[in-house]
Amino acid sequence: MSDDTATAKTGYAVIAGYLRSLDSSPGVYRMLDSEARVLYVGKARNLKARVSSYSRPSNQHSSRISRMIRETATMMFLTTRTETEALLLEQNLIKQLKPRYNVLLRDDKSFPNILVTHDHDYPQIKKHRGAKKEKGSYYGPFAGAGAVNRTLNQLQRVFLLRNCSNSDFESRTRPCLQHQIKRCTAPCVGKISKEDYARSVADAEKFLQGRTKGIQESLADQMQEASAAMEFERAAALRDRIKALTQVQSAQGINPQHVAEADVIGLHIDKGQACVQVFFIRAYQNWGNHDYYPRINGDEDPSEVMEAFVGQFYSDREPPRQLILSHGLDNEDLMLQALAEKAERKVEVLVPQRGEKAELVQGALRNARESLARKMSETATQAKLLRGVAEAFDMDEPPKRIEVYDNSHIQGSHAVGAMIVVGPDGFDKNQYRKFNIKGDELTPGDDFGMMKEVLMRRFKRLQKEDPDRKNGLWPDLLLIDGGAGQVSAVREIMDRMGIHNLAMVGVAKGLDRDAGKEEFYRTGKPVKALRHNDPVLYFIQRMRDEAHRFAIGTHRAKRSKAIGATPLDDVPGVGATRKRALLAHFGSAKAVARANLADLKAVQGVSDNMAQTIYDYFHENG
């Protein structure tokens, strides 16, 4: 540590020193410690007034704010034109910088939608996640893949729409299994007219828009007509579709009568931990729920936590027309303005006290309370297991981050390395990493050579990104698949990289390789075994199995991609759509490579210039 850092001033006096250079503009401020780590990001309608409130001791400061002020060594400021801009910038910086004293939304995954495509005579219905680039109607968001898959499964039973890709559709000569189990009308082989299929698509879209009453009445009328005409097979099929539609509606649970489009958000705080439960209501239907566990310090007001959650949650998502909340927001007018700008329409925020909306909030709160109780129970169990690991392997304190490595390959081909991470909250899947093995000099099946490459790449990056080991990215314990030889070799790699005092344990299966008789190897210590029924042993087995599962899954994905690869993948300008068109037209990549220029120009979606590019690629590189 330098002398300047050691004598750096912090606290109220440092903050007061900035007041002379500030005016009453709106903006965002950052508070940093003596090592330039961001402690807190905040917004202000008036920067000078807000910073002034931090510049003198006050009984109104919570213990968290007082600690933050004491640690503050420098501040940074960004002025904005409006307070709304400051709010949006604040939320983006919080997500990017993850300051210690801010409420932080940790799980930030995207949500899937259902897409009804519009680029084909017989539209496809499918799950979609990510940017909405494909032409079609999008319905969502759904709370997760499970909610989408259930809804798709039910929609196929009712409306019998295809879920196959366009290339599969074009290449079929007879109906697939979906038709045989009455999940598709087989438009691929002409079992239904274009007009009748279009009516089914329209009905499916009406259902996804919440207009189900007319659909049920129409199906009932068709069933009556078929029955009167003594078309009993058709009448039975329509009866089955009506029954399936009824089951869909009952399976969705809470279907509010007076809430067309809203997110219902319930917050529960207990013992310094928080759970936020979000229910997605679209088209008067419940499209699932998701729980979040934002990082809090424990002394925040519920309104502060709710405002931070709403700001971060909708920073990269389009908000619905209504937000129905369990707690109000500190700056509701400002948040409403920011949400309206994001959605380009009015957004309403409600904190209902009675009626149907209040019942929805109570349901979200009950789920949040139960989810947090389960989470806290699991966390307590996890903490006990981590303490057990520390005791078993003579560590000074329980590990906060365990990294487990594994490789997967078939006779050296498509080799991948995998790393999983385990911490106080269990398996941290956001931190999992996969490594494509690049070493050309490795002999096929050289497991240790692969492990060496993975570890060197992993720790070289750590040394570059977090040289001082202050960001929580360094492991406290490495679990290695192998015995004394592997541990010794890994230790040698670490020593060569200048990495010392890193605990590592080799996990070997023992002489008879029976699960439950694992032996544990450490440098300079005798071989250790744990009791057959020791929970710590089961925990280590679970970690090893999870690493193996992740490695195999990564390997299979790489192998599948390689199997599906064609020379067309390397042609400039040929993406997935053109690739499908070329394969459908010529039958194989080899035939495309042999095709003359005139034939290439005849392919739908391939321009004259693109045909020339494809022709030149294969004839110059052939």
Instruction: List, for residues 96-125, the tens digit of each pLDDT value.
Output: 899 999 999 887 678 899 999 988 999 999
Encode pLDDT of 181-230 as tens digits: 888 999 999 999 999 899 889 888 888 887 776 777 777 888 888 888 88
Q: What is the mean pLDDT of residues 533-554?
A: 89
Residue 390 in any domain: the answer is no
Radius of gyration of the chain (CA): 30
Model confidence, pTM = 0.73
Query: Which domain-ending residue is among 356, 374, 392?
Result: 374
If asked whether residues 273 and 350 sit together in one domain, one would say: yes
If asked whether residues 418 and 552 sit together in one domain, one would say: yes
If asked whether residues 124 and 159 sit together in one domain, one would say: yes
If asked whether residues 220 and 350 sit together in one domain, one would say: no
Encode pLDDT of 384-422 as tens digits: 999 999 999 999 999 999 999 988 765 545 678 889 999
Nearest one of 450, 426, 378 to 543, comparing CA atoms: 426
C-alpha–C-alpha distance, residues 247 and 138, integer Å: 23
The residues that bridge with 11 in the sheet, in sequence order, are: none
Residue 394 in any domain: the answer is no
Residue 4: how many CB atoms within 10 A of its CB? Answer: 8
6: pLDDT strictly greater than 50: no
Axis-axis angle for helices 484-496, 447-465 (nearest 10): 40
Query: Which domain-ending residue is among 33, 65, 97?
Result: 97
* Beta pairing, strands 525-528 & 519-522: antiparallel
Query: Which domain-ending residue is among 200, 232, 251?
Result: 251
**Local confidence band at 316 (pLDDT 50, 70, 90 cut-offs):** confident
**Local confidence band at 452 (pLDDT 50, 70, 90 cut-offs):** confident
Encode pLDDT of 23-55 as tens digits: 999 999 999 999 888 999 999 999 999 999 999
If asked whether residues 438 and 541 sit together in one domain, one would say: yes
If asked whether residues 170 and 222 sit together in one domain, one would say: yes
The average confidence (pLDDT) of the chain is: 86
Domain of residue 322, residue span: 261-374
C-alpha–C-alpha distance, residues 263 and 276, integer Å: 12
If asked whether residues 556 and 487 sit together in one domain, one would say: yes
If asked whether residues 347 and 407 sit together in one domain, one would say: no
How many domains in the chain?
5
If asked whether residues 206 and 183 sit together in one domain, one would say: yes
Q: What is the mean pLDDT of residues 472-483?
A: 90
If asked whether residues 142 and 241 sit together in one domain, one would say: yes
If asked whether residues 93 and 25 sit together in one domain, one would say: yes
CATH number (domain holding residue 313):
3.30.420.10
